[in-house]
Amino acid sequence: MTQTAQTAAIDVMQAHKAALNARDPKAIAATLHFPHYRLADGKVKIWETPDTYLEDFYKRASDDWGHTEWGSLEPLQASETKVHLKVIVKRFDKSGAPLVEFPSLWVLANIDGVWAAQMRSSFAGA
């Protein structure tokens, strides 16, 4: 696997987590390619633009959501332009207590020189 691509993908994931926890829509959008795809609970969700991405996240995460952490970021496959990451997502409430933990597969791609997440498949449920 290419180390440069793996490093770029993990850097994007760390930036995504930081932006998500900061509740910064522009910074979050910078870590995602659009359209962006998510498969969970047997349904595919497509965000054509970043406008509704964060609003949809808040609906999924719950009102109690405080922050998210990565339990692990494990490269499974990589090329010069794409990386598959096995991710463990951990969500915590506002007091720091665990809310949920689930595995997810993220696909990060280098499109026009920009590394960002293009899609993911999650076991988070709806």
Q: Do 114 and 11 meet the contact criterion of CB atoms below 8 Å apart?
A: no
Q: Vertex 94, ends 120 and 14: CA angle to 5°?
A: 40
- Residue 50 pLDDT grade (very low, low, confident, very high; cuts 50, 70, 90): confident
**Interatomic CA distance for residues 38 and 106, integer angstroms:** 9
Specify the pLDDT at position 126. Answer: 54
Whole-number average pLDDT of the chain: 92
User: What pTM did the predictor assign?
Assistant: 0.92
The domains located in the chain, with CATH, are 3-122 (3.10.450.50)
**Interatomic CA distance for residues 19 and 77, integer angstroms:** 25
Distances (CA, A) of 100 to 18, 62, 97: 18, 11, 10
3-state class of 50 per DSSP?
A: helix
Model confidence over 71-113: pLDDT tens digits? 999 999 999 999 999 999 999 999 999 999 999 999 999 999 9
